[in-house]
Amino acid sequence: MLKLHTPLCDLLGIQYPIFLAGMGGRRDRVVPPELVAAVSNAGGLGVTGLTDLPPEEIRRCIRRIRELTDRPFGIDLLLPASMEDPEAGSLDEVWRRLERDYPRHVEFVRKLAEEFNLPDVRSGNQFIMSPRTIREQVEIVLEERVPQTRPLSREEALAELTTRYFRSRGPATLNDFAWWSGLTMADAKKAPRAYFLPNYDDYFIGFRDRSAIAEVVRRSNLLENNPSLIPHLIILDGQIVGGWKRTLKKGIVIVEVNLITDLTVAAKQIVTDAVDRYGKFLGLPPWIVGMG
């Protein structure tokens, strides 16, 4: 039987990769908190669209959903291409700008409304989306959801961004990551990733000249064919940084690491994340030994 569980589920803390579409936006068409909570409680990700709601109504909606579920849920807001547009004082002013800057679009909407006898949309929702309102909406969501966290160094932030990208969007290349993140190729290459390679992996054994991946080995005064490195390798940012072995116990997997160099706190976290990925692959909680 197919297991309906993906790495994205682990990333979001949900059971099934099923999302409620965050439709709506106007006050009378918002996905109700009860439906959002029901989807989240069933193991999916409930999402509601709150684009056209004033900031304080967004706060009330979030708190109502939280009353109904303690599971993850999402808030869908539409963000403009630019936050530099001037503020609009009234809905009539918005329409004047549309008629001035996008006359063909306005004419198309008018003809469509006449053809299908649609009501004048200007007489309906009077809520105006503006850069200031959007900022206030985002601030409300952050206040209600995002906990206070320890500031990350630039190295740690790059590592975290890289891990999240390749975990949720892989397989992907470095060029893909640089394009998606907006980082330069130089910065993208700085974002390290760790791999626990199996015995005789081609990354090591498939090349006669291994100097490109053995810079740390040479600095550690170890020979490239040192027996402690051949069986299982730990690769960090493309370089050999040690070896590892596993021991299967009842209900857990013990991963013992043998590092040949000192690692920064951020690098240790990257190696730990690799152990976690290995444990998830085996379906067993990992217990790491030897990190110091």
Is 76 in contact with 50 (CB distance < 8 Å)?
yes
pLDDT tens-place string over residues 230-269: 568 898 878 888 889 999 988 899 999 988 888 888 788 8
Asked if residue 215 and residue 248 are part of one domain, the reply reads yes
Asked if residue 23 is part of any domain, the answer here is yes
Asked if residue 137 and residue 260 are part of one domain, the reply reads no
Asked if residue 135 and residue 43 are part of one domain, the reply reads yes
pLDDT at 133: 83
- Residue 217 has a CB neighbour count (10 Å cut-off) of 21
Asked if residue 206 is part of any domain, the answer here is yes
C-alpha to C-alpha distance for 116 and 102, rounded to whole angstroms: 22
Asked if residue 98 and residue 18 are part of one domain, the reply reads no
Tell whether pTM > 0.95: no
pLDDT at 263: 84
Asked if residue 20 is part of any domain, the answer here is yes
Asked if residue 197 and residue 278 are part of one domain, the reply reads yes
pLDDT tens-place string over residues 104-158: 998 998 898 889 988 776 555 566 777 788 888 889 988 887 655 667 777 778 8
Mean pLDDT of the chain: 82
Query: Residue 1 above 50 pLDDT?
Result: no
C-alpha to C-alpha distance for 218 and 152, rounded to whole angstroms: 31
Asked if residue 274 is part of any domain, the answer here is yes
Asked if residue 86 is part of any domain, the answer here is no
Q: Which domain holds residue 113?
A: 91-122
Asked if residue 204 and residue 230 are part of one domain, the reply reads yes
Asked if residue 230 and residue 201 are part of one domain, the reply reads yes
Query: Residue 227 above 60 pLDDT?
Result: no
Query: Residue 23 above 90 pLDDT?
Result: no
pLDDT tens-place string over residues 33-73: 999 999 999 999 999 998 888 888 999 999 999 999 989 99
pLDDT at 6: 83
Asked if residue 64 is part of any domain, the answer here is yes
Asked if residue 186 is part of any domain, the answer here is no
Asked if residue 135 and residue 261 are part of one domain, the reply reads no
Asked if residue 135 and residue 218 are part of one domain, the reply reads no
C-alpha to C-alpha distance for 260 and 227, rounded to whole angstroms: 13
pLDDT tens-place string over residues 148-193: 566 777 777 887 788 788 777 766 777 888 888 888 888 877 767 7
Asked if residue 250 and residue 232 are part of one domain, the reply reads yes
DSSP symbols for 57-97: HHHHHHHHHHHH-SS-EEEE----S-S-SPPPSSHHHHHHH
C-alpha to C-alpha distance for 62 and 134, rounded to whole angstroms: 16
What residues contact residue 200 under an 8 Å CB cut-off, 6+ apart?
230
Asked if residue 278 and residue 208 are part of one domain, the reply reads yes
- What is the tally of structural domains in the chain? 3
- Residue 194 has a CB neighbour count (10 Å cut-off) of 22
Asked if residue 108 and residue 69 are part of one domain, the reply reads no
pLDDT at 68: 94
pLDDT at 38: 95
